[in-house]
A and B are shown apart, each in its own frame.
Chain A
Amino acid sequence: KAGVTQTPRYLIKTRGQQVTLSCSPISGHRSVSWYQQTPGQGLQFLFEYFSETQRNKGNFPGRFSGRQFSNSRSEMNVSTLELGDSALYLCASRRAPNTEAFFGQGTRLTVV
């Protein structure tokens, strides 16, 4: 059974650009959550999608957005990148909301 796949693994972008990250959950899992992890702030919740609908949203600016497709794959987009957006972005796959989470390896985003 394949795990959670996040692409790309590493990304370097310039301030002001936009970026799209992808997450393919475990087969049969319909909930995908996104987190930002930095050394100073720890793991911060961005948003959760379930059955193509955003179910919950964390306290991030509108530059951070996401969506989920009918096959449960999810993308998150960050527009007008800032240096402070440099972080490890993690995707968590769940069979349904409030069930055990299985994480991908993450996408390491560096903004220069």
Chain B
Amino acid sequence: TQLLEQSPQFLSIQEGENLTVYCNSSSVFSSLQWYRQEPGEGPVLLVTVVTGGEVKKLKRLTFQFGDARKDSSLHITAAQPGDTGLYLCAGEGYQKVTFGTGTKLQVIP
């Protein structure tokens, strides 16, 4: 069974601070996606990483895929209240997509 553990589970920070969210597994994934979900809405795709060691930037968000394609991180620089939400990673394996446990981020103005 493929499992994706995210840490931390909850994060409450002040506006302007930096943060990193981790997504770890013992399984290898062919690709990994990051989503952000706001209350009462469906998850929205932020990025897909495919190659081991790959780094992608989306404005203040930096995503990295581990060299062995078993883990990933999401770094947010100078967090803003609009970044508040549930962040989910999802790994694509053989015929199956596994979602992480989620990280609930609150950015306080």
Q: Interface residues of B: mostly helix, strand, loop or mixed?
A: strand
Residues 49 to 104 of chain B near chain A (Cβ within 8 Å): 88, 90, 92, 95-102
What is the total number of residues of chain B having a CB less than 8 Å from a CB of chain A?
A: 21
- Name A98's contact: one of B35, B41, B45, B97 (CB within 8 Å): B97
- Residues of B within 8 Å of A106, CB to CB, are 40-42
Indicate if the CB atoms of B95 and A45 lie closer than 8 Å: no
Q: A56-B95, A56-B96, A90-B42 are in contact. Are A101 and B102 (CB under 8 A)?
A: no
Interface band, chain A: 20 to 34
Residues of chain A in range 64-108 having any CB-CB distance to chain B below 8 Å: 88, 90, 97-98, 100-106, 108
Q: How far is the CA of A90 from the CA of B40 in the complex (A)?
A: 11
Partner of B43, one of A55, A90, A97: A90
Knowing A90-B42, A90-B43, A106-B42, the reply to whether A98 touches B99 (Cβ < 8 A) is: no
Question: Is B44 interfacial (CB-CB < 8 Å)?
Answer: yes
Residues of chain A whose beta carbon lies under 8 Å from any beta carbon of chain B: 4, 6, 33, 35, 42-43, 45, 55-56, 88, 90, 97-98, 100-106, 108
